[in-house]
């Protein structure tokens, strides 16, 4: 048996501690995803874990710090707010290695903004201000909402398909800017004939997932700063449903059994629109078309790294 356990030890109450700052919260989420992705990889390979506590997540559901002194309802004390997709393959608490009362999760198809989503985020930054350290926008590979937006972008007549309700079209429209920016970057990196290249549509989907998360994170950062909230950081990332890792930027998954824990990353929200183009260019060269020479791959990745961006 290969277990992934949420464990509470009543002999050690009071172990839950809210991260002291945004960076500590970010690292806690990153490390949690490393543990979860390693467990998932172990399950896929059928290996046996090397230690009883290797895949144990401490849970603080009965921690005294969450109990009301008057004996009423438990106190809500999440350290992170996560805006993610509704996709059933993306179990937010599990993939970040978190348990009861750790995350305030908002899930909507395509992790797009809307009135209800915005209201939920506003609630979290006001009512839960004492514990929240980070806002995270989490996209994921093979996202159905992003794929629908890509299909409608490439073949506009599909946008008006009877299968797409007005509400679904609204979600597509929220994602179109990310799709267009991704398409522009691919044409710049792969050439004007990019749409005819193998894996173009698949790469466009992956890039749009990342740019969509970046756009939303940028918008949230503007709102947080406008509200004068300087102690909550806005982050973004993309969960790979094949490698089970949260990364930004994402990387080619050529060998699913050769996970690289160092790739797990939550990037800081862009501070300027030009960073979208930089991220798109980096992705377009990293997720290069099949058949490109290895030397070309090395040169473009080195160039992208040298150019630098704020998400590292």
Burial of 273 (0-12, 13-18, 19+ CB in 10 A): exposed
Q: Tell whether 242 is in a known binding site.
A: no
121 touches 55 (CB < 8 A): no
**What is the Cα–Cα distance from 172 to 40, expressed in whole angstroms?**
31
Cβ distance 117 to 224 under 8 Å?
no
Query: What b/e string do you get for 89-113 counting C-beta neighbours within 10 Å, with b at 16 or more?
Result: ebebbbbbbbbbbbbbbbebbbbbb
According to DSSP, the residues that pair with 139 across neighbouring strands are 238
What are φ and ψ of residue 305, in 5° steps? -65, -40
How far apart, in whole angstroms, are the C-alpha atoms of residue 97 and residue 36? 6
CA atoms within 13 A on the CB side of 59: 13
Q: Which two tokens stand for residue 288?
A: 């290069």
Integer-rounded Cα radius of gyration of the chain: 20
Do the annotations mark residue 85 as ligand-binding? yes
Q: Which tokens belong to 30?
A: 């990153």
- Yes or no: say if 69 and 136 are a contact pair by the CB < 8 Å rule: no
Give 297: exposed, middle or buried? Use CB within 10 Å, 0-12, 13-18, 19+: middle
Q: Is 43 annotated as a binding residue?
A: no
Of 180, 307, 122, 312, nearest to 236 by C-alpha is: 312
**How deeply is 270 buried, as exposed, middle or buried, from its count of CB atoms within 10 A (0-12, 13-18, 19+)?**
buried
Q: Which residues are annotated as a binding site?
A: 85, 87, 140, 143
List residues forming the annotated binding site for Zn(2+).
Answer: 85, 87, 140, 143
């Amino acid at each position: 048996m290969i277990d992934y356990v949420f464990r509470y030890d009543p002999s050690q109450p009071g172990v839950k501690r809210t991260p002291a700052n945004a960076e500590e919260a970010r690292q806690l989420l990153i490390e949690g995803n490393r543990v979860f992705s390693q467990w998932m990889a172990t399950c896929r390979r059928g290996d046996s874990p090397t230690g009883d506590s290797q895949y144990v997540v401490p849970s603080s559901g009965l921690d005294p710090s969450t109990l009301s002194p008057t004996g009423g309802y438990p106190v809500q004390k999440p350290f992170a707010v996560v805006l993610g997709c509704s996709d059933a393959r993306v179990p937010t608490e599990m993939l970040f290695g978190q348990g009861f009362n750790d995350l305030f999760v908002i899930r909507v198809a395509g992790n797009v903004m809307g009135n209800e989503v915005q209201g939920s985020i506003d609630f979290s930054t006001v009512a839960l201000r004492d514990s929240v350290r980070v806002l995270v926008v989490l996209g994921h590979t093979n996202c159905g909402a992003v794929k629908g937006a890509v299909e409608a972008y490439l073949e506009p007549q599909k946008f008006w398909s009877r299968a797409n309700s007005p509400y679904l079209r609204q979600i597509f429209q929220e994602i179109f800017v990310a799709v267009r920016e991704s398409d522009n970057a691919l044409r710049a990196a792969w050439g004007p004939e990019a749409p005819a290249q193998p894996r173009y549509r698949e790469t466009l989907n992956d890039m749009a997932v990342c740019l969509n998360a970046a756009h939303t994170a940028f918008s949230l950062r503007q709102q947080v700063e406008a509200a004068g909230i300087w102690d909550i950081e806005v982050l973004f990332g993309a969960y790979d449903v094949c490698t089970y890792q949260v990364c930004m930027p994402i990387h080619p998954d050529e060998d699913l059994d050769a996970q690289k824990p160092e790739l797990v990353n939550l990037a800081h929200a862009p501070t300027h629109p030009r960073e979208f183009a930089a991220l798109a260019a980096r992705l377009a060269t990293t997720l290069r078309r099949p058949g490109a020479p290895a030397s070309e791959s090395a040169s473009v990745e080195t160039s992208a790294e040298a150019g630098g961006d704020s998400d590292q």
